[in-house]
Chains A and B, each alone.
Chain A
């Protein structure tokens, strides 16, 4: 890693990181090294832990306006210009002001993608959960997924069939019992832990290092991935875990994490042999560049990669004891039983 390369980044912050990254990543799906060259005004040296490893510790957020997949309208455009990004930021500010001024949601603040504004849901901004109410990690990418396409590659025919079968089997039984609910609704696993992706809210994480280990704790949903960096092999293939089995090693300033042993239910339902490589590189005092590549030849036509900055926040993580107050599960089941009774009564009449 070229330390001098970080100098400009240190002075310009998050935006600069992305500006520097742009030329390197625009060419294809290959993950870019962090800022290769830059004029050295002031040398920023990546901090080290007491045992000499790059220090990634702290409380961070990957809260972002960047979607995972590139919107169709932006096909072929991997990066915004600086001016476009400032317009985007302005729009983001105005969006929230509109909500504040009128006392009503200006648009969809339901947190459900594509939901109408009057969706049966609380207004996120009412509870401090709108993404604009928290610190955002800005970058110029138009999608987290890198490369000219910026989308998840097509499913293989086998995977399409697997998922269609699964969907057909579940149809009509969505509310039979708690086991029919999604992993997220059951507070078991969420899709923001491995890979580290932003959540709808509380997109915060804490990194703690000890000799031979790195721990990645995500606030949602209070999960910790403990990653050994002592060169040990993966656990036996027969063992499957919600967030897989991660082993790590250091390459210069970068923590490289290799993860296998996922279940076929998460994080990408239907993927049976998921292999993921993540790279965490300290880019400046307040920024970690996060990059990941996933592959599963039985699932997608080709591997795909994503990257986004993670930025430092003040304060601490708060507990997210999801199981403790998961009343919605019981409420929904009771609601489904009431609905069934009503249908039965109508049938008798």
Chain B
């Protein structure tokens, strides 16, 4: 049984939710990873994906606005996050991949505040324990 369970846990690690909104590999380019540091202009709290607009200053001093695709905002709301939690002017860092159309759009694989704090830290309200009945 031990072996079986071990195998099972291996499976569970990859058996992430079976459905995503669209094929990300069709929209973003894995050969174009990027790291962006800048300030939030606005956050579109929309479905199926939220979009963070951020101003990024290039090496030449020129400021370019990027749009960063992120997840559905519904669960963030449920965990206590609101539109005010990411106000314009916030300094953030984004690691992600550029869009295949070569525009200034990217998917935000991870988003952190400039000081390294995770954007949504403290929101991990744990409701998943089987004993936990709310």
Contact = CB atoms under 8 A, between A and B. Distances in A.
Max count, chain B CB within 10 A of own CB: residue among A100, A122, A219, A318:
A122
Interface string B13-25: 1111111111111
Given A67-B18, A120-B107, A320 B100 contact: no
A85 interface: yes
Contacts of A192: 19
Contact of B99 (A88, A111, A187, A335): A335
B109 to A, nearest CB: 5
Given A73-B8, A200-B18, A332-B26, A120 B71 contact: no
Nearest to A116: B14
A239 interface: no
Contacts of A324: 46-47
A231 B103 CA distance: 56
A131 interface: yes
Interface stretch (A20-28, A91-99, A245-253, A273-281): A91-99
A120 B101 contact: no
Contact of A13 (B102, B126, B127, B133): B133
A143 B1 CA distance: 17
Given A111-B19, A128-B71, A184-B22, A122 B109 contact: yes
A314 interface: yes
Interface residues of B, number: 74
A124 B109 CA distance: 9
A78 to B, nearest CB: 14
Interface string A98-114: 00100110111111111
B48 A322 contact: yes
B55 interface: no
Max count, chain A CB within 10 A of own CB: residue among B22, B119, B134:
B22
A52 interface: no
A93 B34 CA distance: 31
Contacts, number: 255
Interface string A322-341: 10111111011011111100
B19 A87 contact: no
A328 B74 CA distance: 18
Contacts of A202: 72, 74-75
B122 to A, nearest CB: 10
A123 to B, nearest CB: 6
Given A73-B4, A85-B130, A200 B17 contact: yes
A185 B24 CA distance: 11
B17 A339 contact: no
B38 to A, nearest CB: 17
A122 B73 CA distance: 13
Contact of A91 (B12, B16, B26): B12
A68 B24 CA distance: 23
B130 to A, nearest CB: 4
A108 B78 CA distance: 23
B129 A129 contact: no
Contact of B74 (A14, A65, A313, A320): A320
A1 to B, nearest CB: 23
Interface stretch (A36-44, A132-140, A163-171): A132-140
B12 A126 contact: no
B128 to A, nearest CB: 5
Nearest to A15: B130
A213 interface: no
20 contacts: A14-B130, A67-B15, A87-B5, A95-B12, A96-B124, A108-B16, A115-B16, A120-B24, A123-B109, A124-B17, A126-B111, A127-B76, A131-B128, A134-B128, A190-B19, A199-B17, A315-B78, A320-B72, A332-B22, A336-B100
